[in-house]
A = this chain, B = another copy of it.
Amino acid sequence: MKGLMMHFPLTVPSILEYGNRVFPSKQVVTLLPNGSLHRYAFADLYRRSRRLSEVLRLRWNIAPGDRIATFAWNQYQHLELYYAIPGAGAVCHPLNIRLSVSQIAWIINDAQDKVIFIDASLVPVFEKVIPMLDHVPDFVIINADKDFKAGFRFMHYEDLELDTPATQDWVAADEDDACGMCYTTGTTGEPKGVLYSHRSTYLHAMSIMSPNAFNISMHDTALLIVPQFHVMAWGFPYVCILAGANMIMPSSHLQSQAIVQLIQQEKVTIANGVPAIWLQVLDYLKKNPPAEKLTLREFFVGGSAVPESLLQGFDELFGIRGVHAWGMTETSPLGTISRLQPHHERLSPDAQRKIRSKQGIEMPAVELRLIKEDGTIAARDGETTGEFEIRGAWVAGRYYNSEAHSDQAFVDGWFKTGDVGTIDPDGYMLITDRKKDLIKSGGEWISSIALETALVAHPSIKEACVIAVPDAKWAERPLACIVIEDGTTVSPDDLKTFLKGSFASFQVPDQYVVMQEIPKTSVGKLNKKALRKLYQEGELKPVK
């Protein structure tokens, strides 16, 4: 027997309808690439997005399911696109501006984007992409001066006349229709598209609002540092509208000084970002202590493991709480979040930070399990290691246009994350490694992440990355690539002695390579794939 409740589809336009109805005066503030501040209200975002949605249909004949790409910063026009595109029944596809030109072209060709909206400041990058496209999208440039020149035909965003009142309503969508798309590049293989639905986007936004997650209310002002081209800025463009939180958009101004100024000027209470950003902000704040306590209450940090020292610095020096969360492009992204439970309150701050730097507990409507090498489910004992598998209401079920990768990653209704670790009896996920980055030496696992974390704790080491290299006797051995702090020195023997305090002998790397810089991926992660390639090519010379 069916329930007798209304059919009320959870759609992206209904999020903005809500924001316009209930929080019309809440603000969207953008520090534009040219340094000027743009400020308007949710009611303006609504009005212009409705009109843009209509313009997409009138001018480009956009039909349900068409992909429309963006190549832009966190800015109000990008928000308008986030709502206007799904509101036209189409798929909003933010392109990662940090990828290589050939990757960007590959992705556009795979998605067959029909129109691409580009910020003027990013045109020089994009011009190199154009010759590699296999089709001819239309282009719209945002924030261009009247006499702006580009090496391709375009129209001005400002000429779309978005202040004209809309006459058409949103295109009615089924909640399972696609509304957004992000490609995951990972560190291996070709990019893979994840196709979000209206429903998954809505449920994810509703869920991350809760006090156990990001705890966002109408009393908050959120600074969106995570780019809109990284997993939909972790859902902030949606949740802020549902929660009635003001949104502060820094566009290209991601230097610590600009971030701190925005926090002070706009009285920001929450913000999101990767550890690299927060490490820089912490460093900046140490050197430039604010005259008044910052309004920032909490910052959310994810994308890679969070160093305890980062949490400690903000805790002790500025009374600001860092909250670590974990997810992937395939998980919308929030899978877990690491907040303390009441019985942790009696622990010392250090012991608490050990828990807070774990990946945390599952969100409702998300289910995590740990699969051992023998295929059975591992106990949640904090010791048994396995690969994390996840399923849930905002977890991808397939990749777009990629059957082979889908068959590998999505098995029996679960997504195989490739992350390896444990779940403790309190339910906290701890990632110890990426599956392919684990080092198996003489039949025993060595965690490259554990070694990296230990190495960077050495006063002479600025960066460290450990990869597996082939070894005749032990099958694999760890190789440590390190960047040395200016004005210091350190020898392999020093490091071996240093590591032996915390690791079994077999776990300590024998070989050390000193580098100027560790290669990074487009999202700033250590690029182990590139290091392995350098090693194979004989480019990595261990120090004697």
Contact = CB atoms under 8 A, between A and B. Distances in A.
B3 A391 contact: no
Given A14-B365, A209-B211, A362-B18, A3 B217 contact: no
A8 B399 contact: no
Given A210-B217, A364-B206, A427 B22 contact: yes
B209 A177 contact: no
Contacts of A364: 15, 18, 206, 242
A399 to B, nearest CB: 7
Nearest to A399: B4
Interface in A186-219: 194-200, 202-203, 206-207, 209-212, 215-219
A427 B391 contact: no
A178 interface: yes
A439 B212 CA distance: 47
A110 to B, nearest CB: 14
A22 B362 contact: yes
Nearest to A339: B218
Interface in A430-489: none
Interface in A358-373: 361-362, 364-365, 367
Given A21-B427, A196-B3, A362-B22, A217 B206 contact: no
A119 to B, nearest CB: 27
A383 interface: no
A293 interface: no
A393 B211 contact: no
B427 A365 contact: no
A414 to B, nearest CB: 9
A250 interface: no
A10 B199 CA distance: 12
Contacts of A341: 218, 244
A65 interface: yes
Contact of A1 (B1, B65, B203, B207): B65
Contacts of A195: 1, 3-5
Contact of A217 (B21, B200, B211): B211
Nearest to A423: B21
Contact of A5 (B65, B196, B427): B196
A365 B175 CA distance: 13
Contacts of A5: 176, 195-197, 199-200, 393-397
Nearest to A401: B4
A8 B212 contact: no
Contacts of A194: 4
Given A3-B177, A3-B178, A342 B196 contact: no
A179 B2 CA distance: 9
A47 interface: no
Interface string A1-44: 11111111010001101100111000000000000000000000
Interface string A375-407: 000000000000000011111111110000000
Tallying the copies of this chain within the complex gives 2
Interface residues of A, number: 68
A364 B203 CA distance: 11
A391 B8 contact: yes
Given A210-B206, A342-B218, A365-B14, A398 B1 contact: no
A25 to B, nearest CB: 8
Contacts of A361: 22
Contacts of A212: 209, 217-218, 243-244
Given A212-B243, A212-B244, A21 B362 contact: yes
Contacts of A393: 5-6, 8, 10
A65 B369 CA distance: 32
B206 A211 contact: no
A413 interface: yes
A94 interface: no
A88 interface: no
Nearest to A242: B364
A303 interface: no
Contacts of A302: none
Interface of A: 1-8, 10, 14-15, 17-18, 21-23, 64-65, 91, 174, 176-179, 194-200, 202-203, 206-207, 209-212, 215-219, 242-244, 339, 341-342, 361-362, 364-365, 367, 391-400, 413, 415, 427
8 contacts: A2-B177, A2-B178, A4-B197, A4-B400, A5-B199, A8-B391, A211-B211, A212-B217
Counting from the closest, the 8 A-B pairs by CB-CB distance are A3-B197, A1-B65, A211-B217, A6-B397, A4-B195, A8-B393, A5-B200, A3-B178
Given A2-B176, A18-B364, 9 more contacts: A1-B195, A5-B199, A5-B393, A5-B396, A6-B396, A18-B367, A202-B365, A206-B365, A210-B217
